[in-house]
């Protein structure tokens, strides 16, 4: 049932209690602590200033929780956007990134208003797995420089160029940076088994910062490479231009589609954890509004974060209040504690992103799909994966969707069939139990009749002694303009041969197309029958004349 565009917050407030408020506040604080190092790390992976990750988590996180269609969704910067954001910022600058994010927000709002929430399921699993795994690889490659403490002679943007620069610059390897990176990874892997409530990423940045500071290690920190700004996110006036809009439009659509997929996937996961049902269209509107606000306050694209949402649920969050608390706590950290972020070592950030990449890579799903899927699906999966790594996400998704669509149409064309009935007097086994008058021939069409299968209609042969051709369409669920054109050609051929065509059991969608195209009037209402029995009676009356 369509809930309309109604934020979940409104329905949650009807039965809200003080006990739930306490749980939401605790959950919001814990999620904020988890989001702090992740937001900074993802900002750096996206090629922007570290505080911009917090701007995103604060502004988008609050707005999406306020307006969202999920009770427990936590939104902010995510790894899925890191490479595409870095590419936009490098090619079009921060103004281009801002324009793309605002446009993506508008597109998401349109998706929600037009009730496209359920249409996201039409993105094939092979494509989402392919680009997700590809993004994970690009994140790892992008962090090799900081993990090994390398000094690049160039500043490449493309993933493969970065990989080449890693090999070219490996002589500048810094063993102290590697030690900090390995220690951080060990903390990220081991501490979750010991400390259930304390975020491992927070332990990693605190311990690694202490080691670098106390042992005077020669390791780059955030403060060495970036100037960190504390204070409220400032409103930025957008500077739109037609050239910029045209340049970033494909990126805006990619951001919107990615945000929709990841957010709604996160909603589905959280629904199963709390036994609720999200409002997908309202969530899309909220994601759109959140991205617009994020861009206007210096942030980057945001989406629902599955890991942070799951942490919210596990710590007692059950209403959008926890998401709003998470944003407020991050704002307080930004105002009061941001200078301490300058002490975080870059190899620790790289280690955090390695773990994020591993968790999002879905490598088990990837291998399972390669082993168990049809070859055509594996081809789409591998193509999307390779193109994401070798080129960029926009190109990969575009090619992936085109390939998936072509393969789908091929499969649909394969299941579409046009054949004539076999008759006992022709030496075959009769496949029907009805008597067919002499001079009458029946063709059975099954499957969707669209441009990919329309040529199969050429198989309807006009026999020399044919007076009536019955075309039975009970197995045709849908038809398109190309198939109608082929039927018009067949109708014209029948008229020339003085053969009368009769259509039997035309389903709702094909009948609607018949009438809109004028084909219904060309055939004549009297020659379109409800079922095969009526069609045979009409044919018999015609041949007896």
CATH number for position 449: 3.30.750.24
pLDDT of the residue at 359? 84
State CA 431 to chain mean position distance.
46
> Does one domain contain both 240 and 341?
yes
19: Cβ contacts below 8 Å, ≥ 6 apart = none
> Does one domain contain both 422 and 278?
no
| CA gap 207, 222 in Å, rounded | 15
Query: How does residue 1 score in pLDDT terms, banded at 50, 70 and 90?
Result: very low
Q: Residue range 381-386: average pLDDT?
A: 93
What one-character DSSP code corresponds to residue 79?
G
| CA gap 391, 96 in Å, rounded | 20
State CA 497 to chain mean position distance.
53
Domain boundary among 330, 352, 368: 368
10 occurs within a structural domain: no
Query: Residue 417 pLDDT more than 90?
Result: no
Helices (H), 297-339: 306-314, 320-336
| CA gap 167, 309 in Å, rounded | 38
Q: Residue range 395-405: average pLDDT?
A: 84
SS3 473: strand
153 occurs within a structural domain: yes
> Does one domain contain both 74 and 180?
yes
Mean of the per-residue pLDDT values for the chain?
89
Query: Residue 301 pLDDT more than 80?
Result: yes
Domain boundary among 333, 368, 403: 368
320: Cβ contacts below 8 Å, ≥ 6 apart = 7, 8, 9, 12, 65, 66, 68, 70, 71, 72, 73
Whether 39 and 57 have beta carbons less than 8 Å apart is answered as yes
> Does one domain contain both 174 and 86?
yes
Domain boundary among 368, 401, 430: 368
Burial 318-349 (b: 16+ CB within 10 A, else e): bbbbbbbbbbbbbbebbeeebeebbbbbbbbb
> Does one domain contain both 156 and 300?
yes
Taking only the tens place, the pLDDT of each residue in 491-516 is 999 999 999 999 999 999 999 999 99
Whether 61 and 74 have beta carbons less than 8 Å apart is answered as yes
Query: How does residue 411 score in pLDDT terms, banded at 50, 70 and 90?
Result: confident
- Of 540, 458, 453, 467, the C-alpha closest to 501 is 467
Query: How does residue 458 score in pLDDT terms, banded at 50, 70 and 90?
Result: confident
CA angle 134, 140, 146 (to 5 degrees): 155
- Of 355, 338, 358, 393, the C-alpha closest to 53 is 338
Taking only the tens place, the pLDDT of each residue in 310-355 is 889 988 999 999 999 999 999 999 999 888 888 999 999 999 989 8
Please identify which residue in the block is written with the tokens 């018949």.
514
Query: How many Cα neighbours within 13 Å face the side chain of 204?
Result: 33
pLDDT of the residue at 423? 58
Q: Which two tokens stand for residue 108?
A: 């998401």
Hey, what's the torsion of the CAs at 55, 60, 65, 66, to 10 degrees? 100
Query: How does residue 309 score in pLDDT terms, banded at 50, 70 and 90?
Result: very high
Query: How does residue 432 score in pLDDT terms, banded at 50, 70 and 90?
Result: low
Domain limits for position 204: 17-250+272-368
Give the total number of structural domains in the chain.
2
397 occurs within a structural domain: no
441 occurs within a structural domain: yes
Taking only the tens place, the pLDDT of each residue in 231-256 is 899 999 888 889 999 999 999 998 99
pLDDT of the residue at 433? 56
Query: Residue 10 pLDDT more than 90?
Result: yes
Query: How does residue 428 score in pLDDT terms, banded at 50, 70 and 90?
Result: very low
Q: Which element (helix H / strand E) includes 76?
A: strand 75-76
Angle of the 18-45 helix axis to the 82-113 helix axis, nearest 10? 130
- Of 381, 123, 392, the C-alpha closest to 257 is 123
C-beta atoms surrounding 214 within 10 Å:
8
Query: Is 0.85 topped by the overall pTM?
Result: no
- Of 307, 362, 371, the C-alpha closest to 132 is 362
1 occurs within a structural domain: no
List % helix, strand, coil for the chain (3-state, nearest 5): 70, 5, 25
State CA 169 to chain mean position distance.
36
> Does one domain contain both 335 and 465?
no
Q: Which tops the pLDDT comparison, 128 or 28?
A: 28
306 occurs within a structural domain: yes
216 occurs within a structural domain: yes
> Does one domain contain both 305 and 216?
yes
474 occurs within a structural domain: yes
> Does one domain contain both 243 and 179?
yes
| CA gap 20, 269 in Å, rounded | 21
Q: Across 408-499, where does the E strand assignment appear?
A: 417-420, 440-446, 468-475
> Does one domain contain both 458 and 358?
no
C-beta atoms surrounding 157 within 10 Å:
15
Query: Residue 304 pLDDT more than 90?
Result: yes
Whether 245 and 103 have beta carbons less than 8 Å apart is answered as yes
DSSP letters, 172-238, are G--HHHHHHHHHHHHHHHHGGGT-SSS-HHHHHHHHHHHHHHHTT----BHHHH-----SSPPP---
């Amino acid at each position: 049932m369509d809930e309309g565009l109604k934020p979940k917050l409104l329905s949650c407030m009807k039965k809200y209690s003080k006990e739930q408020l306490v749980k939401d506040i605790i959950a919001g604080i814990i999620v904020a602590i988890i989001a702090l190092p992740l937001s900074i790390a993802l900002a750096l992976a996206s090629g922007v200033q570290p505080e911009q990750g917090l701007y995103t988590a604060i502004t988008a996180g609050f707005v999406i929780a306020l307006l969202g269609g999920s009770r427990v969704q936590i939104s902010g910067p995510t790894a899925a956007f890191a490479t595409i954001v870095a590419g936009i910022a490098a090619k079009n600058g921060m103004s281009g990134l801002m324009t793309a994010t605002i446009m993506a927000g508008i597109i998401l709002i349109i998706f929600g208003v037009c009730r496209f929430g359920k249409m996201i399921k039409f993105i094939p699993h092979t494509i989402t797995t392919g680009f997700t795994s590809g993004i994970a690889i690009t994140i790892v490659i992008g962090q090799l420089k900081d993990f090994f403490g390398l000094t690049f002679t160039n500043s490449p943007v493309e993933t493969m160029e970065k990989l080449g620069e890693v090999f070219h610059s490996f002589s500048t390897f810094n063993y102290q940076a590697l030690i900090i990176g390995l220690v951080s990874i060990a903390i990220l892997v081991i501490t979750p088994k010991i400390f259930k409530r304390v975020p491992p990423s927070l332990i990693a940045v605190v311990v690694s910062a202490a080691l670098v500071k106390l042992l005077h290690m020669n390791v780059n920190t955030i403060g060495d490479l970036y100037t960190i700004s504390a204070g409220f996110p400032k409103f930025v006036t957008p500077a739109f231009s037609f050239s910029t809009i045209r340049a970033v439009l494909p990126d805006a659509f990619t951001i919107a589609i990615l945000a929709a997929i990841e957010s709604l996937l996160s909603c589905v996961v959280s629904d199963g954890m709390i036994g609720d049902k999200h409002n997908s269209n309202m969530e899309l509107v909220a994601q759109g509004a959140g991205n617009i606000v994020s861009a206007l306050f210096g942030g980057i694209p945001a989406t629902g974060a599955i890991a942070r949402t799951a942490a919210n649920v596990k710590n007692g969050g059950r209403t959008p209040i926890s998401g709003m608390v998470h944003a407020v706590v991050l704002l307080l950290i930004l105002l009061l504690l941001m200078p301490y972020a300058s002490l975080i070592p870059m190899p620790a950030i790289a280690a955090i992103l390695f773990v994020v990449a591993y968790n999002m890579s879905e490598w088990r799903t990837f291998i399972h799909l390669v082993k168990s899927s049809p070859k055509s699906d594996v081809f789409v999966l591998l193509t999307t994966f390779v193109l994401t790594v070798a080129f960029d996400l926009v190109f990969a998704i575009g090619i992936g969707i085109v390939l998936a669509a072509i393969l789908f149409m091929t499969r649909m064309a394969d299941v579409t069939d046009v054949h004539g009935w076999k008759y006992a007097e022709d030496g075959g086994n009769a496949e029907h139990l009805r008597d067919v008058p002499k001079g009458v021939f029946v063709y059975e069409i099954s499957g969707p009749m669209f441009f990919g299968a329309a040529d199969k209609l050429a198989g309807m042969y006009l026999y020399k002694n044919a007076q009536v051709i019955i075309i039975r369409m009970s197995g045709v669920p849908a038809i398109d303009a190309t198939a109608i054109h082929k039927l018009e050609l067949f109708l014209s051929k029948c008229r020339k041969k003085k053969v009368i065509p009769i259509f039997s059991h035309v389903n709702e969608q094909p009948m609607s197309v018949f009438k809109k195209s004028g084909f219904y009037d060309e055939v004549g209402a009297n020659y379109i029958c409800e079922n095969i029995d009526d069609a045979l009676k009409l044919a018999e009356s015609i041949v007896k004349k």
